[in-house]
Amino acid sequence: MSGGLLVAGTTSDAGKSVLTAGICRWLHRRGVKVAPFKAQNMSNNSAVVVGPDGRGGEIGRAQAMQAAACGLAPDLRFNPVLLKPGSDLASQVVLLGEAVDTITAGTFRQLRPRLAETAYAALAELRAAYDVVICEGAGSPAEINLRAGDYVNMGLARHAGLPTIVVGDIDRGGVFASMFGTVALLDPDDQALVAGFVINKFRGDLGLLQPGLDMLRQVTGRPTYGVLPWALDLWLDAEDSLAYGRVLGRPAGPRGDEWLDVAVVRLPRISNATDVEALATEPGVRVRLTVEPAELAAADLVVLPGSKSTVADLAWLRETGLADAVLAHAGAGRPLLGVCGGFQMLGRAIHDPVESRRGSVPGLGLLPIEVTFDPRKTVRQSAGTAWDGVPVHGYEIHHGYVSSADPDLTPLLAYADGTGEGAVTGGVYGTHWHGAFESDAFRRRFLTEVARQAGRAGFRVAPDTSFAAARERSLDLLGDLVEEHLDTDALWRLIESGPPADLPFIPPGAPTA
């Protein structure tokens, strides 16, 4: 068979990514050869994939997670178009893993036909290679101002003949109005592909919700395939940092008699915020994202994460008083970590004729390095060691390079060939490697050092925490939720046979294109 399904949503962060992953895991368990797909993603959370030519390329982090749900290695075709916002007006375009351009809303229209052609070709290849492809939409299909050039929501569904389900987040309120309105704003041909709904993040008595589900079916002629309950344990591999609450996950109690408090600065253009998720899987480690200088003062470890706009976010740190709080934290001898863009901010100077084009700007001066931006973009998976041979792996995505460093600088990591990477000065740590803390032994050693430097003698790392196992438990939970709370027989018929032929039109509908 060559089945397919589009998971659309009433809004961004309605639950499309997790529902897509859950359906993928459910099908994978049934022995179906299934793959994920998102024609276009807009996110600064990306994963590195090794392409057919051996070079590293980028796809959205959510599609890498969905690939794992399918039991697959990530593939560049799973997310052929990735837009990485560098400001409110411009985004870097990553096409089949490679950065090809920087666009604004105006220039995007000129590039869009090429992007759509690439996305359609990638989907056709996947449908030829897999039994089922579960596609994720973007934003909402009812963004009627964008419909004419759409190739990720109903434009994709129309092109590929995909039945579509719409997921809505009931925790935000107004879910019935948003579901009805989503269908009612589509033109007749688009409406004919929308087969029904899924409600996400429900808390309470399902019996109280049932009258609304019945009425929604009456007014739309479409069923609700199920109601997914709120699940506190679903927080790994967030599509975007905005999906995070203030505290990541549900931190387990400490193995020793003290907690370790980690404050992560939520930069305006934060990139790959998922780096700190591995820290949050450790018992006794409380990880929170913050924009409050006072919260840095109380933290044991402060983290400056990656940034898509390093120089602009460094200026924001200074404007908000957070830079002074970072300097005070480090000046008190307490641990500080910079990852990628955050690492670059810790140096003496940043020379940037590429990303911000602001030339040379002073860094925070906490590490004896200077960073220069280059049009060449490093995108690769990396592996090596730290300290006395502790294994570590990660991935790199950056335009900035250490162009000058103190000759006596101590590197944080070492590549397999022995070349040093990153820097350590006292309690200040920096690295370009994302994902390093997913390496269990490295994470434990790092947290042990941090606890010592922070004066948390009572903190103990757990000897058995496995980040990979935590991720698998999360994916299995998604599969369990789909199997237990959705009408999987009806979903399978939809995937296998397409949308019912008698779906009614809901006025007013958009004008037919």
Nearest alpha-carbon partner for 134 in 239, 9, 5, 1: 5
333 Cβ neighbours under 8 A, 6+ residues apart:
426, 427, 453
In the sheet that holds 90-95, the strands lie side by side as 40-42, 81-85, 90-95, 98-104
Q: From CA 53, how far away is CA 61, in angstroms rounded?
A: 21
Q: How far is CA 10 from CA 133, 142, 317, 487, in A?
A: 21, 8, 34, 20
DSSP assignment, residue 17?
Answer: H
* Nearest by Cα to 318 from 363, 354, 353, 359: 363
Helix axes 16-29, 467-485, angle to 10 degrees: 90
Give residue 66's Cα distance to chain centre: 11
Is 24 assigned a catalytic role?
no
- Dist CA 161 CA 473 (whole Å): 33
Which of 28, 351, 398, 434 is catalytic? The answer is 434
Catalytic residue selected from 329, 340, 432, 485? 340
Are 327 and 296 in contact by the 8 Å Cβ rule? The answer is no
The widest CA-to-CA distance across the chain, in whole angstroms, is 74
Cα distance between residue 134 and residue 19, in whole Å: 10
Contact predicate 417/385, CB 8 Å = no
CA distance 222 to 500: 10
135 noted as active-site residue: no
In angstroms, what CA-CA distances link 390 with 380, 382, 383, 434? 21, 14, 11, 17
Write out the catalytic residue numbers: 340, 434
